[in-house]
Structure 1
Amino acid sequence: NPKQDSRDVSQARGQTHQRRHHVTSSLSGVVEVRMTGYDVLKQVQMPAKTDTCPMRVPVALREDGSVHYRDYRAVPHGLTLGATESGKSVYQRNLVAGLAPMDVALVGVDCKQGVQLFPLARRFSALADNPDTALELLEALVTHMEEVYQLIRAEQRISVAVPDAEIAADIWDLPDDIRPVPVVVLVDEVAELALFASKEEEKRRDRIITALVRLAQLGRAAGIYLEICGQRFGSELGKGITMLRAQLTGRTAHRVNDETSANMAFGDISPDAVLAAIQIPAETRGVAIAGDSTGGWHRIRAPHTSLRQAVNTCNRYADRTPDLPALAAYRPAVAALPSDRVPLSKTAPATA
């Protein structure tokens, strides 16, 4: 299948030894075959040097040994699914740690009272830990998006003297000195935003989903990218959910509890990826299937990153956290970091 970038031929033939073959069709009439003598996903070791660039983060290894990147400029919005204890949180930590050194604003929505994202708060420009605050934050982000579009309109440079390639249509066409900082929005558990138990909660839920859909449809040119995580993401979450899912081009599925959950991720793009997702065993936490709207998919695994490691990375790059005036009210309040210079012992007073 030329659309499937990588396939484990040994596994497809029922072989059980560790030698794996990978077939890749890169050009018409050209087939590349790779063979590895061991399972590179058993103990993930990322290479020392990776091909990084702005908004392109190395987050995992593919089963053929190559690096899997999360490239926001190529795939603006993504969906990550996975059951409890499937490795979804570790994947998210790798993503945040990879973005921390970059010139990017991180915005988090963690309705599990902030247990996943608030430890990383020093690197976040805005955080919400409950649906009410999430609604206010997302609507403020929509207002920020509209302001960015006004800036692009003002700087489009569409006079006849300007070459076509220099006409501004998104933030990346703007000069460096006036370009707004790009924003990555991480939603830890989308179901907590979509569930409701009363009429008032239903109204709040509809406004939240409307804001997310608007950000997904219009955010790319304004430099706003969505990274939405959840255990399930189906029509049972209510109206607007399937419209939102259609905008999330990048799909990653860790171990899921049923075939229906795998179909939520890949049913509309690749039946083979659905089959691969439901075959992930429970003991291989962190293994996932990554695909996109082209139908191609890969088996990947992120390196294990503890919460402490992710916190240390965010603290190290806390000075790179940009201030967004539109989101100032949602900037997390954090204590100052301790000084690097800590005396090892007290100086004894001089005696006569």
Structure 2
Amino acid sequence: MKKFPMISAAALALTLLVSPAQAATDLPASHGFYDEMTYLVNKGVISGYEDGTIKPDKIVTRAEAAIMIGKLKNFKGTQTSTNFKDVSKSQKASGYIAEAAKAGYISGYPDGTFKPYAPITRGDMSIILDLTFNIFNGVGASFSDVSPNMKSYNAIATMVSGNITAGYSDNTFRPNQAITRGQLAAFMSRVLEPKFKNDTHMANSYLRDKTKIYSYSTKQGTATLKFEEVPVIEGNDFGFMWVTRTDWNSATTLLVENETKDALIYGLPYSEAETEIVYPIQVGKTFENGLGERYTSTITGVNKTVNTPYKKFTNAVEITIESGEKYYMVEGYGSVKSLDAKGETVSELSSVK
């Protein structure tokens, strides 16, 4: 009788706990996209190669991108004929390409080809993600190499407002640059999971941590802010954004915010936006604000000490509105306290969970 080798329970448990991404020989934990690659491997979107590698720095082809999108959307992927003259039924990605094209997520070229083996660019990937997922298209950033006459212009703005990417430090987006498996994993992970959106925040950002729930004490009661996915409403994409709820009524308010190298802007979706703080931060710097009637705000202090029920901050930026009202901004927390013209507290941060 054939005997099978014995495997200890500990060894078996260890085997089950190690994901394909963790076992990949070319994906150390120190890799810039290790977490994103692991996340998508565990979701079954990315798989490794027979040689034990996962190739995070390999350029992604248009066919490979279609497969990854298809797996996220739970397409069957059964090989089939397509409407593209260079994608036959015998090709591995044919089913995913056909289904994605039918759904309107991808398209080919005027000559009837899809160019499945051509590298996919950052601009093209922005278009595909914009068409595939519910992402709010709000205030985008301006890049020196992205102009309004480009096909990917609106999609790139959506990627920025949706915290999918922030571009490069030299104020470029590089829309024609080919994208790697690791970079694509980052794009897709940020579409799906708020914790990865934090990676797009600038250094010393005043944006809140999107994995936390913020509560504020006000004269009326307690208001909470939670970053969550909002479904499509009346044909408009909303995606992930801050949702405000209060304990004094059942109404909810949606809040979007976007940070560029020049300012942090916030407002209601599909409406006008307010400037909350401008960069670089300098005492005496002024900026205009207001929806309709305009008013001037001035940065009147830095490294201010502010006491709130949550904690004492010693690095707050004080901003004074021309009417005498003040509010205080802190890196990683946004506004932590606001005062009326008499100096009385209007709202203040009470908890972060």
Identify, as 1 or 2, the structure richer in strand.
2
Fold in common (TM above 0.5): no
Identify, as 1 or 2, the structure richer in helix.
1
Look at both structures and tell me which one has the larger radius of gyration over its CA atoms. Answer: 2
The one of the two structures with greater contact order (alpha-carbon pairs below 8 A, sep at least 6) is 1
Question: How high is the TM-score relative to the length of structure 2?
Answer: 0.19
